[in-house]
Amino acid sequence: MSIFTPKNQIRLTNVAVVRMKKAGNRFEIACYKNKVMNWRAGAEKDLDEVLQTHSVFVNVSKGQVAKKDDLNKAFGTDDLTEICKQILAKGELQVSDRERHSQLETMFRDIANIVAEKCVNPETKRPYTVNLIERAMKDIHYSVKDGKSAKQQALEVIRQLKETMEIQRAHMRLRLVLPAKEAKRLKEKLKPLLQVVESEDFNEELEMVCLVDPGCFREIDELIRCETKGRGSFEVLSLKDVEEGDEKL
């Protein structure tokens, strides 16, 4: 026994729907759950991992596909992949209140994990626990933002927490090797970027071990490469300069 299915109908299951209203019509695309936020945050690059189908619908739940004329009128093209990208970028993700609450809770904890991983108490050099960071985030009434990755939001949280508690990014430990001719001049340029110089050794070249804020990493790299034309170098000795044990209340 065969079941007739109209050509303009497609049945899908376990779908996350992204909806956009344009030119007086409603358009929807069918995505895999949890993939839409990954795409918007830049964590997922493969469109086929996000879309269940490259079709554009007027109603995903009923399987009704949008008409070609309506697509051209609204988007100026009937290229389904291009239209899907537009809806994915600017459309509204349809989720139940329960799903949304769960997603926000997960993102909130992910942000707290990143903050706890990257930061220390500047006085004790010890990391904070994830639970303590979560409590601090609740105290400042931090709200998770759609369309931003956990890492982006963690940096914002760190900036806000600095106003209410002793917290800073854990320093990186670097070894810098500078050619003798450029050493003195380059050291002066590097000085504002170095938090602590732990040791200096000058023989045929200047070797320094220092602590730096991770935010200065690229600037130090660029400065050494450009100013020494590749003759200088540096290496990361440790990503975090921390004392053993967690900082607890």
Structure tokens at 13: 């299951």
Residues 126 and 248: their CA atoms lie apart, in Å, by 9
Domain residue ranges in the chain: 15-94, 97-168, 171-238
Average pLDDT estimate for 216-227: 87
Residues 195 and 249: their CA atoms lie apart, in Å, by 27
Q: How far separated are the first and last CA of the chain, in Å rounded?
A: 69
For the chain, give the mean pLDDT: 86
Residues 130 and 113: their CA atoms lie apart, in Å, by 6
Choose among 204, 217, 116: nearest CA to 167: 116
Backbone angles phi, psi at 69, to 5 degrees: -65, -40
Query: Vertex 96, ends 92 and 99: CA angle to 5°?
Result: 105
Residues 39 and 154: their CA atoms lie apart, in Å, by 18
What is the per-residue pLDDT across 55-96, written as a single tens digit (0 to 9) for each?
999 999 888 999 999 999 999 999 999 999 999 999 998 877
Exposure class string for 84-95: b at 16+ Cβ within 10 A, else e: bbbbbeebebbe
Query: What Rg, from alpha-carbon coordinates, does the chain have?
Result: 26
Secondary structure class of 7 (helix, strand, coil):
coil
Residues 141 and 139: their CA atoms lie apart, in Å, by 5
Secondary structure class of 237 (helix, strand, coil):
strand
Confidence of residue 245 (pLDDT cuts 50, 70, 90): low
Total residue count of the chain as it appears in this document: 249
15-22/25-32 β-pairing? antiparallel
Return all residues near 177 (Cβ < 8 A) that are at least 6 apart: 205, 206, 207, 232, 233, 234
Statement: 15-94 belongs to CATH 3.30.1250.10: yes
Residues 190 and 210: their CA atoms lie apart, in Å, by 11
Choose among 62, 63, 53, 50: nearest CA to 93: 50
Backbone angles phi, psi at 63, to 5 degrees: 75, 20
What is the per-residue pLDDT across 107-166, written as a single tens digit (0 to 9) for each?
999 999 999 988 989 888 889 999 999 999 999 999 998 778 899 999 999 999 999 999
The answer, yes or no, to whether residue 249 has pLDDT greater than 50, is: no
Is residue 233 a contact partner of residue 206, using CB atoms and an 8 Å limit?
no
Query: What pLDDT score does 34 carry?
Result: 77
CATH class of 97-168: mainly alpha
| pTM as predicted | 0.57
What is the per-residue pLDDT across 14-50, written as a single tens digit (0 to 9) for each?
688 999 999 999 999 999 877 888 888 888 899 999 9
Is residue 57 a contact partner of residue 28, using CB atoms and an 8 Å limit?
yes
Confidence of residue 1 (pLDDT cuts 50, 70, 90): very low
The answer, yes or no, to whether residue 100 has pLDDT greater than 60, is: yes
What is the per-residue pLDDT across 167-204, written as a single tens digit (0 to 9) for each?
988 888 899 998 888 888 888 999 898 888 899 888 88
Q: Tell the CATH topology of 171-238.
A: Alpha-Beta Plaits (3.30.70)
Residues 204 and 188: their CA atoms lie apart, in Å, by 19
